[in-house]
Amino acid sequence: MRELDVLHNIVRDATRHMDEQEIPQWDEIYPNREILAKDIEREEIHVIEVDGRVAGLIVMNEDQSPEYAAVAWAYAGRALVVHRLTIAPVHQRRGLASRLMDFAEEFATTQGYGCIRLDAFTRNPAAFNLYESRGYRKAGIVRFRKGEFFCYEKAIGV
C-alpha cells in the first residue's frame, strides 16, 4: 500500500506540474490509483530512485491501445509498449527520464522485442523531444480522450 501511495503522489504531482504548464495530458481519471495498482500487481511498473527515494516510474508491457491499429508502424514483430513515464517534478531535468528509457531499451533487447512503441501528448514538448532525441520515429497520430498524441517507435536490436 505504501508503494502505491508513493507512486500515486508522484503521478499526482506530475499532473499538477503539467497543468501549471498548460499541458492538460492527465487528470483524476488517467492515470488513477486503480491503474497504478494494476501496474504493480502485474509487475509492469519499474521505478528509479534518488537518494533511496522513488523519483520516477515507467510501465512496460505489450498492451497497445486499440487506436494504435490505425497507425502506419514501420516495424513488425513483438513490440514492447511504454506507458506512464513519469518523473517527480522536483527531480525533473536531471536525466532520469533518459535513464528509464535506457532501462526500457535494454529490457526490450534482452527480452527479444523487435521494437518499442509509445505515444506522447502533442502538447507536451518535453516528452516528444525526449523520444525524438533518442531516435524514436514518429509513426502517426492517435486521438484519446484528452486530445491528440504522437505515436513513436524505435527498432531494437538492429
Q: So what's the pLDDT on residue 157?
A: 74
Query: Residue 1's pLDDT band (boundaries 50, 70, 90)?
Result: low
Instruction: At 16, list the grid cell.
Output: 499538477
First-residue to last-residue Cα distance in the chain: 40
pLDDT, tens digit (0-9, with 9 covering 90-100), for 69-113: 999 999 988 999 999 999 999 999 999 999 999 999 999 999 999
Name the burial class of residue 106, with classes exposed (0-12), middle (13-18) and buried (19+) by CB atoms within 10 angstroms of its CB. exposed
| Domain boundaries of the chain, sorted by first residue | 2-155
Q: What separation in angstroms does the CA of 96 have from each of 43, 56, 104?
A: 20, 8, 12
CATH ID of 2-155, from 3.40.630.30, 3.40.50.2000, 1.10.287.110, 2.40.10.170: 3.40.630.30
pLDDT, tens digit (0-9, with 9 covering 90-100), for 35-64: 999 999 999 999 999 999 999 999 999 999
